[in-house]
Amino acid sequence: MTIPRVFVTRIIPEAGLALVRDFCDADVWQGELPPPRDVLLARVKHVDGLLSLLTDRVDAELMEVAGPQLKVISNYAVGFDNIAVAEATRRGIPVGNTPGVLTDTTADFAFALLMAAARRVAEGDRFTRAGRWQTWGPMLLLGQDITGATLGIVGFGRIGKELARRAQGFRMRILYYDPVCQDDPEASRLGAQCVDFDTLLRESDFVSLHVPLTPTTRHLINAEALGKMKRTAILINTARGPVVDHAALYAALRDGVIGAAALDVTEPEPIPPDSPLLALENVLIVPHIASASVATRGKMARMAADNLIAGLRGERLPNCVNLEAYG
């Protein structure tokens, strides 16, 4: 068998990269930033496999340029909205992703954002560093209580459920909204109640987003949705930036329609330095790091490598998002 050629669009942890190098003739992009579009298109020409990141747009043009020998696309992420999956399916190319291994790490981080926004941790740090801490103050940086508050989880999949498990420890009332919520046996074990979207928005002190980005979820949190939330509510987004309409979010935070927001993801990414959101004190923004623990990123690398190698061998990917590609 000839050695398969692959393009890996960024350096990923060695746990996965070593497997790829052992099995393939691997061209690994060494830049800290994603390969520019023209470079990406040039480097995928004639490859048998592609290991991509969520920062790479893998569309029909790319698949066409790569050529008909392209056997597999392995995305180093659980989300795959950067990939034209229907096009890959049409071409019989299986697409792999990395579900499961980042669930706990991401749920931990969503809860960390929830707590940080509720208790104004980032603001407090900025306040201290600016030399503004002069005394203990009865009214200084008052936040919201978490224990006993109502948490609304939008999207009750793996990560949403793990967030609920964490919220149980804080004796939170847990509401969730999900299209398949009525039949979910795990919900009662987690003490979570399925409600319609409006009820969740109206009654939650915290609203945390855990849906994939699809045409239906794009701008799910818009001016209308924000208007239904409590004036003290805190929005947490560790899903995908475009699930939230940022112009509407800015207006809502500025005008006190909601209390605060904590964003791991933005639209676009990175958030432009002149985004008006960055001028607000009641928003906390971090650079898409919810899954960024040493152990989890290593597991994701291994999983992405396993998917890539299985595809190159002509075997079924251990984690495939488009089984229809197999016909």
Closest approach, Cβ 181 to ligand DGY, in A, equals 22
Among 102, 149, 207, 312, binds ligand DGY (CB under 6 A): 102
Examine residue 290 and tell whether it contacts ligand DGY (CB under 6 A). yes
Query: Among the candidate windows 73-81, 157-165, 184-192, 201-209, which touches ligand DGY by CB under 6 A?
Result: 73-81
Is 240 marked active-site? yes
Instruction: Determine the Cα angle at 223 with ends 218 and 225, to 5°.
Output: 75
**How far is the C-alpha of 284 from the C-alpha of 278, rounded, in Å?**
8
Examine the residue annotation and report whether 173 is marked as an active-site residue of this protein: no
Instruction: Report the alpha-carbon distance of residue 185 to residue 302 in Å, rounded.
Output: 31
**What strand order describes the sheet that includes 192-194?**
192-194, 173-177, 150-154, 206-209, 234-237, 260-263, 283-285
If binding is defined by CB under 6 A, does position 160 make contact with ligand DGY? Answer: no
When asked if residue 101 is in the footprint of ligand DGY (CB under 6 A), the reply is no
Of 24 and 54, nearer to ligand DGY (C-beta) is: 54
Rule CB under 6 A: say whether 163 interacts with ligand DGY: no
Which has the closest alpha carbon to 148: 206, 231, 234, 226? 206
Nearer CB in complex with ligand DGY: 54/258: 54
Q: What's the min distance (Å) between Cβ of 155 and ligand DGY? A: 13
| Edge-to-edge strand list for the sheet holding 5-8 | 25-28, 5-8, 49-52, 72-75, 95-96
Using CA atoms, how far apart are residues 75 and 6, in angstroms rounded to an integer?
A: 13
Of 83 and 290, which has the nearer Cβ to ligand DGY?
290
User: Whole-angstrom Cα distance, residue 148 to residue 130?
Assistant: 33
C-beta contacts of 169-173 below 8 A and 24+ residues apart? 170/146, 171/147, 172/146, 172/147, 172/148, 173/148, 173/149
- In the complex, the smallest distance separating the C-beta of residue 266 from ligand DGY, rounded to whole angstroms, is 12
Task: Indicate which single residue of 13, 35, 79, 242 sits in contact with ligand DGY (rule: CB under 6 A).
Answer: 79
Kindly name the residue from 57, 202, 254, 269 that is annotated as catalytic.
Answer: 269
Q: Which of 166, 240, 246, 297 is catalytic?
A: 240
**Cβ-based nearer residue to ligand DGY, 143 or 241:** 241
Among 89, 291, 307, 319, binds ligand DGY (CB under 6 A): 291
- C-alpha to C-alpha distance for 170 and 192, rounded to whole angstroms: 13
Residue 165's identity, in one-letter code, is R
11 within 8 A of 17, measured Cβ to Cβ: yes
Does residue 54 interact with ligand DGY by CB under 6 A?
yes
- 305 is a site residue for ligand DGY (CB under 6 A): no
Total residues at the site for ligand DGY (CB under 6 A)? 8
Pick 93 or 290: Cβ nearer ligand DGY = 290
Within a 13 Å sphere around the CA of 53, how many CA atoms are in the beta-carbon half? 18
Q: Which residue of the set 166, 288, 297, 302 is catalytic?
A: 288
What separation in angstroms does the CA of 109 have from each of 30, 88, 159, 247, 288?
28, 32, 10, 25, 10
Q: Does the protein bind ligand DGY through residue 307 (CB under 6 A)?
A: no
**Which residues pair with residue 177 across a beta bridge?**
154
Residue 78 or 271: the one with the smaller Cβ distance to ligand DGY is: 78
Q: Taking Cα atoms as reference points, which of 266, 269, 276 lies closest to residue 243? A: 266
Binding string, 244-283, against ligand DGY, x = CB under 6 A?
----------------------------------------
Give the residue numbers marked as catalytic. Answer: 240, 269, 288
Contact residues toward ligand DGY (CB under 6 A) are: 54, 77-79, 102, 288, 290-291
